[in-house]
Amino acid sequence: MIEAHALTKRYGERTAVTELSFTVRPGVVTGFLGPNGAGKSTTMRMILGLDAPTSGWVRVNGKEYARHRAPLYEVGAMLEARAVHTGRSAYHHLLALAATTGIPRRRVEEVIDIVGLREVAHKRAGGFSLGMGQRLGIASALLGDPATLVLDEPVNGLDPEGIRWIRTLLKDLAAQGRTVLLSSHLMSEMALTAEHLVVIGRGRLMADMTVADFVKGAGGSVRVRTDEADRLRRLLAAPGVAVTSERSEVLEVTGLSSDRIGRTAADAGIALAELTPQQASLEEAFMEMTRDAVEYQAPVREREGQPA
């Protein structure tokens, strides 16, 4: 479990994270989302004790990271994993890491099998592909058999097979009762992997809810097909309602439920050939929610660029 309470981080004048409170629970994969510069990496670094909060706190499995006697047994992390540049083999890399924390050799063998690196375990890790490097990063995170995992962009640069492998692995780890927090820019991937979301924008919490609720909250649109599209479009016009049309007989309506559209059409004697609520994708929901958080950044940066 990860619990953040009023977590705040300032770098000089700039506040990277503001009064952030959220809980990442065990048993499901939680996605950590936010536009560039939202404060995700800063938050992850504070979770892992790599950066100290200016105020507030964040606990992993009940204690702040630094207060754990053997943190590697509590939380496994992969931050900005890149191919490992090392002359050591994957096996010796893991063995060295294990030795520093008293983790037995047998566990090194186990994690090599979990991440599927058995065949290349004795090859120089410096020559690994990005995908193999990611697997090695995950093996390192799993070494201490931790109850909590924090992974920053674990699928970056992976091929579809590697992405599917990580997805399955993370879901399995969560199903074992672990807490799994991952950030990713790939929304479609997040929608398939995560069940819960923590979304931040400009350092503040914007959503802490299930993926299903997050997407539902975005509303989506309704697709309507009718021979009398023009007439229906005029009847539906109202403040807050947007109607777009790519084909003359098809309308995409936002701001009205399919019930309302159906009733309006029936009252006017308009026959509908199709009336389909369209679920917004996670990407659309994310764009809608964070639009203001993104737009706000430009003036802030411009101001910073000006001489004092």
Ligand X SMILES: Nc1ncnc2c1ncn2[C@@H]1O[C@H](COP(=O)(O)OP(=O)(O)OP(=O)(O)O)[C@@H](O)[C@H]1O
Residues that bind ligand X (CB under 6 A): 11, 14, 16, 34, 36-42
Q: Report the nearest approach of ligand X to the CB of residue 185 (Å).
A: 7
Considering beta carbons, is residue 198 or 243 the nearer one to ligand X?
A: 198
Considering beta carbons, is residue 16 or 222 the nearer one to ligand X?
A: 16
Considering beta carbons, is residue 11 or 57 the nearer one to ligand X?
A: 11
Q: Report the nearest approach of ligand X to the CB of residue 86 (Å).
A: 25
Considering beta carbons, is residue 41 or 221 the nearer one to ligand X?
A: 41
Q: Is residue 121 a contact partner of residue 153, using CB atoms and an 8 Å limit?
A: no
Q: Report the nearest approach of ligand X to the CB of residue 69 (Å).
A: 28
Is 131 in a helix, a strand, or coil? helix
Measured distance CA(285)–CA(34) in Å, rounded: 12
Q: Report the nearest approach of ligand X to the CB of residue 36 (Å).
A: 3
Q: Is residue 158 a contact partner of residue 182, using CB atoms and an 8 Å limit?
A: no
Q: Report the nearest approach of ligand X to the CB of residue 40 (Å).
A: 3
Q: Is residue 31 a contact partner of residue 183, using CB atoms and an 8 Å limit?
A: yes
DSSP-derived letter for residue 127 is G
Give the number of residues written for the chain. 308
Measured distance CA(264)–CA(238) in Å, rounded: 12
Considering beta carbons, is residue 156 or 258 the nearer one to ligand X?
A: 156
Amino acid at 40: K
Considering beta carbons, is residue 124 or 204 the nearer one to ligand X?
A: 204
DSSP-derived letter for residue 145 is -
Collect all residues with Cβ–Cβ distance below 8 Å to 32 and sequence separation of at least 6: 40, 43, 44, 181, 182, 183, 197, 198, 200
Q: Name the residue with tokens 């083999």.
A: 89
Q: Report the nearest approach of ligand X to the CB of residue 140 (Å).
A: 21
Q: Report the nearest approach of ligand X to the CB of residue 41 (Å).
A: 3
Considering beta carbons, is residue 143 or 155 the nearer one to ligand X?
A: 155
Torsion of CA 115, 121, 126, 130, to 10 degrees: -30
Q: Which residues pair with 105 in a beta bridge?
A: none
Measured distance CA(258)–CA(275) in Å, rounded: 7
Considering beta carbons, is residue 16 or 111 the nearer one to ligand X?
A: 16
Tell me whether strands 29-33 and 196-201 are parallel, antiparallel or unpaired: parallel
